[in-house]
Chain A
Amino acid sequence: MTIEIPLLILLVMTAAGAILVKDLISAVLILGSYSFALALVWALLGAVDVAFVEAVVGAGLATVFFLLTLFRTTEKDTVIRRPPVPWAAILGLPLLGMLLLYGAGDLPVFGDPTSPASTHISPVYLENSVDQTRTPNVVTAVLMDYRSFDTFIETIVIFTAGIACALILRKGDK
């Protein structure tokens, strides 16, 4: 599938640009375009829900939150001073990347019907979810019904984090 390659090039270029750029507001903007590219890759792989979340959270909310953080910092904090890259990182990180590629070589091909992911439990969900949960969307049925405790506790974690942020950012009485 050759359509992915230009999008993946775009993804790598935006990621490198966000790291290499000199000041923080530019890094935030480039990170927004990185999220756009990543959401396009998710959409291309058929994970429309993930693409939607990446677009909403990564490109929209994260940019706004980063800018809100930059509002509260002073002028001299927003310019990045970088120490020179150590030799151990230059030598070690390509080795780590090769190790990860070697490990990824064993993964099944995308969309392979005999892979463990599509033979283990996915058929059970696909065949029974409408009868058992009365929900037309399988992803929603898995998230909200089969894994409802997981989703519930995730919601608790996010709620707690939101309360903590609200308490930290509260103005006035100290």
Chain B
Amino acid sequence: MNSFLVFVLFTLTALMLVYLYRVVRGPSVFDRVLGLNGISTKAIVLLVVLGSMFERVDMFVDISTGYALLNLVGALAIAKFLEERGAARE
């Protein structure tokens, strides 16, 4: 069971690296925003996987919920920023 969780953890981290390529290289700002959102969803799942590895899921679910809420606020701020300006650039 534990080796399965480790496998899931490695796979999710590899997926985050793929998203990271899009965030760092991504030609337009929208690519970067979408990449960041993908990374944050992977991070939320990864936290729950870590929690089940440590058998403290109750504690880690709290953090991942906080992640998700804060990610929503950050995405809204970025969207607001791009609405005012920046969409025309690059």
Number of B residues, CB within 8 Å of A: 43
Q: For residues 24 through 69 of chain B, which have their beta carbon under 8 Å from a beta carbon of chain A?
A: 24, 29, 32-33, 35-36, 39-40, 43, 46-47, 50, 54, 56, 59-60, 62-63, 66-67
Contacts of B84 in A (CB 8 A): 71
CB-based contact B6/A3 at 8 Å: yes
Q: A173 at interface (Cβ–Cβ under 8 A)?
A: no
Contacts of A9 in B (CB 8 A): 17
Find the A residue at minimum CB distance from B29.
Answer: A25
Nearest CB in chain B: distance from A111 CB, A: 13
Nearest CB in chain B: distance from A54 CB, A: 10
- Given the complex of chains A and B, what is the CA–CA distance between A64 and B74 in angstroms? 6
Q: A99 at interface (Cβ–Cβ under 8 A)?
A: no
Nearest CB in chain A: distance from B72 CB, A: 9
CB-based contact A13/B17 at 8 Å: yes
Q: A127 at interface (Cβ–Cβ under 8 A)?
A: no
Known A36-B43, A52-B62, A52-B63; judge A6-B74 contact (CB<8 A).
Answer: no
- Given the complex of chains A and B, what is the CA–CA distance between A122 and B9 in angstroms? 31
Q: How many A-B residue pairs have CB under 8 A?
A: 112
Contacts of B78 in A (CB 8 A): 29, 63, 67
Contacts of B67 in A (CB 8 A): 36, 39, 55, 59
Known A26-B32, A43-B63, A44-B50; judge A33-B20 contact (CB<8 A).
Answer: yes
CB-based contact B77/A63 at 8 Å: yes
Q: Which of A17, A55, A71 contacts B63 (CB 8 A)?
A: A55
Find the B residue at minimum CB distance from A51.
Answer: B63
CB-based contact A7/B13 at 8 Å: yes
Find the A residue at minimum CB distance from B28.
Answer: A26
Q: A144 at interface (Cβ–Cβ under 8 A)?
A: no
CB-based contact A10/B13 at 8 Å: yes
- Given the complex of chains A and B, what is the CA–CA distance between A42 and B9 in angstroms? 15
CB-based contact A59/B40 at 8 Å: yes
CB-based contact A39/B43 at 8 Å: yes
**Could you write out 8 A-B pairs with CB less than 8 Å apart?**
A6-B13, A33-B20, A48-B59, A51-B47, A52-B63, A61-B70, A67-B77, A75-B85
Further pairs besides A25-B32, A37-B16: 12, Cβ < 8 Å? A6-B9, A20-B24, A26-B32, A30-B23, A30-B24, A33-B23, A33-B39, A36-B39, A52-B66, A55-B63, A59-B74, A63-B77
